[in-house]
Chain A
Amino acid sequence: MLGGSATAFSRSLFGQALPHLIVIGGGFGGATCARELKRHGLNVTLVEPNLIYTACPFSNAVIAGLRPIEAQQFRLDVVKQGGVVVAQQWAVRVEPGARRVFLVDGSSLQYDRLVLAPGIDLRFDALPGYDEAASAMLPHAWKAGEQTELLRRQLEAMEDGGTVIIAAPSNPFRCPPGPYERASLIAHYLKTHKPRSKLIILDAKDTFSKQRLFQAAWQELYPNLIEWVSLSSGGKVNEVNAKTRTLTTDFGHHTGDVVNVIPPQRAGQITHVAGAADRSGWCPIDPVTFESRLQPNIHVIGDSSIAGGMPKSAFSANAQAKVCAAAIVSLLRGQPPSAPKLINTCYSLVAPDYGISVAGVYRPANGVLTDVEGAGGTSPPNAPPSFRSLEATYAQAWFETITTEVFG
């Protein structure tokens, strides 16, 4: 190992002037990390095929017709202007031994350290009947963009009195409160535009994020509109029939007019190719440096990583990216990286002026990122409407601030 890093330094000294860092994926994690590394004066290449990033946070508001998709889109121009070289391509292969990344056009890049931030892969092999072709009929909308707009159009086309079904996956998955925020905002759309309609959540879990707050709000705002079917009540979907829009559970069949299937997920494909993912499908990391437990000189941040108590969120990915960049700079300097402390906060909208949040503070303990006891937790139950409204405002403010930090 020691020999390996010494070679990295001599090559960078004599081959290139400075160590070369490659970041794969230009989302909340990768774009942040590339910019932070560049701020330290390093050579940074960001590999990302899409020059326009479509953000998932607040995409549920697009689905509910409260926001245009353009409000979700951010260009990588400013990242480029800051000196980060953007290779506008897919990375298709990593050779950890040779420290090379291969791009889809056949070219390759040498790295001293590599950061993998490819987000999630939707598993189109895990739920019988739900493959990529099926997702053109029953959208997942779990990667924002075309899929978000498809789900929006289907809701618009649905007649009053229709049934919307959301199938939610088991843990772990991207954005734990996301399916329930989506159910809330779709319910808001139905209540205001198609009041005779109904929404059913078929869940592969018995509990979910911010559950008490969501359920109390549903009772208050959308009585008899949302039905949540838990795992033990037969909520787990075993099979999908895209043509008939039917979902099969242990207990029976559910047919909807609009069906949103959020399938099981795993770390982005490139982490598997790089040998950085384990049998769980996700990437084990050192909680101080985010360096892979499986591949030296490769770091994994964001949704792809196993970040202990931290949920897979844009907030987490951004916070992890900054910690990872600082650790890489220390490692390149031959200094020991200092133990970090991280924060996550996930805001959810239950209605346009009704926000709730869950927060956590994390530190490495026994090799994993662990909740700091006594800190964090959800918004209080029984708070007045003014409090919920303030949190809805802060949710919006958070999105503006973070997207400006990452892309602006």
Chain B
Amino acid sequence: MRTIIVAAILLAAIAPASAQSVAPPGAAACSGCHALGVGSASIPPLSGQTPESIVTAMQAFRMGQRQATVMDRIAKGFSDEETRAIADWVGQKR
């Protein structure tokens, strides 16, 4: 047990940034299409957007109030809470 704790401390010490960079459920898959850095592709990048605007867009996609090719189908898979957490995490990366 002690070795586990020591190793945990060692890891925490070596990679201090990683605690905050742990993605909430679902967030890691957004970057499959949305470049997290500066995007050159035609899918709008999420970096540069506020958490608020991401939440609003996701809700509109989910309710079918905003035109989409694919985001309507994706947004329906996430609850308000999950969407909020993803938006905050993506917002942190701005």
Q: Do A and B come from one complex?
A: yes
- Residues of A whose CB lies within 8 Å of any CB of B are 5-6, 9-10, 12-13, 18-19, 39-42, 315, 318-319, 322-323, 326, 329-330, 332-335, 338-343, 345, 357, 359-361, 363, 372, 374-377, 379, 387, 390-391, 393-394, 396-398, 400-402, 404-405
A404 touches B10 (CB 8 A): no
The chain B residue sitting closest to A42, CB to CB, is B15
A341 touches B11 (CB 8 A): no
A10 touches B3 (CB 8 A): yes
Sort chain B's interface into a size bin.
Answer: 35 or more
Query: B20 within 8 Å of A by Cβ?
Result: no
A391 touches B76 (CB 8 A): no
Residues in A neighbouring B82, C-beta threshold 8 A:
341
Q: How far is the CB of A154 from chain B (nearest CB, A)?
A: 33
Partner of A12, one of B1, B7, B30, B74: B7
Q: Give 19 new A-B contacts, CB below 8 A, not counting A39-B18, A40-B18, A401-B39.
A: A6-B3, A9-B4, A9-B7, A10-B3, A319-B28, A319-B29, A326-B28, A334-B5, A335-B8, A342-B29, A343-B77, A345-B74, A359-B70, A375-B73, A375-B78, A396-B42, A400-B41, A401-B31, A405-B31
Q: How far is the CB of A332 from chain B (nearest CB, A)?
A: 6
Q: How far is the CB of A217 from chain B (nearest CB, A)?
A: 16
Residues in B neighbouring A405, C-beta threshold 8 A:
31-32, 35-36
Q: List 20 A-B contacts (CB under 8 A).
A: A5-B4, A6-B1, A9-B7, A12-B7, A13-B6, A13-B10, A19-B7, A319-B28, A326-B28, A329-B15, A329-B18, A340-B26, A342-B29, A345-B32, A374-B77, A376-B73, A391-B69, A394-B70, A397-B33, A398-B33
Assess A40 versus B76: contact at CB under 8 Å? Given A13-B10, A334-B7, A397-B43.
no
